[in-house]
Structure 1
């Protein structure tokens, strides 16, 4: 992992492969390691950059609530430092919320963008309440019990019996999340606005990926638009974690999309 300074805090990132740039943003209580099965497939054709988001993995975890905008600005700072003028940005879950904020404000830096098991909808009132319960639990009990209860719900039900090692790996990654980082990110997600208009208004290529058995963000909450510039893909048998449950299929979907985005941009 390499390290850069963004907005006064250190952001660590993985940088592999050569060519057109794909930026992968992980989900809540994850890190760049969430992409460990996807990056080797993509980096044979692309330069793949995967940061540990603010408050996650090896990146710094400042105290206090974060905002999705702040987390997107960290990614902008990373791209500026690496002198990357344009990329295709794809975000998983929390990473998708950050991608939408980035696309809303820095569209000129993107060749295309996408949500992977994410949504442009804001939190419901119930979800907002649950974020506060999560923060309280993390602060009172620490990260380990929280991750132990959180991880089973993000996989398809069958995965626990068919491939329990995948859940264990997600937990291992989750345990490395600094408690104040998890709390800060949970509060950022709670306050995020409705960004469906970012998807409906953009002329950029957009990729929307849903897991057929995602209990956290069902496909209908991901597929908020079907304009001609939007590619929709459902990963069969996957829950919220196709990057673990079906990495080859997800990588194939991403490659097809990135290839199309690059050719659209080269002809425009």
Structure 2
């Protein structure tokens, strides 16, 4: 664990030495949702491959860049692309960027993802505020020795997604007339999509959307004391009695189409944080 800690410190020192801004807010952008970077000003770009010990994205539509700039009048750090268990990364490797962000002084983490809808009232292209999650990956980024300076051995998960940020987002969506569902996100390993039987199972558990990311990041962020806001873009709806294939190209296209509404919503939320 000492080696991991020193690697986090080395990566943070590399990035921090090049930053001209001191952001307190970071965003992690999911599949097809990298357009936020286009709205940023004074952007500095750090390819993941240039950052010491940083993982590298291998998934289509994940650019693999850390971008620092100003958006909605606030200095922000944006991860344009994330990492997944199905890529072969461990839970601890996925937690690495969160540790680096915290070391850089980040206090609030906003995550977006593309997710399959389980709630039959959802439609492709809808947005869902994540109010809670279920971890079905079988992994946990906190496994192993705990670094007490980073967080407690047994972090409380009563409110993994910050209630105040969630309420702010709901009120903002109402004022901007942007439809926003609320629901529970279930994280699975992937990379295969769910069978009809698995969809029935996940719905019976109380999940409203399913995806292959986010959960490892949120567990780490809660352990690190960050405030977390999560929003899913529903790219397809899994109806087990009328099951249809969901090609990756369609998932990415739907996420990109809904991305403009997400960008608008988050830009308004950022003003109030």
Please, what TM-score do these two structures have when normalized by structure 1? 0.34
Greater helix share, structure number: 1
Please, what TM-score do these two structures have when normalized by structure 2? 0.34
Higher RCO (C-alpha 8 Å, min separation 6): 2
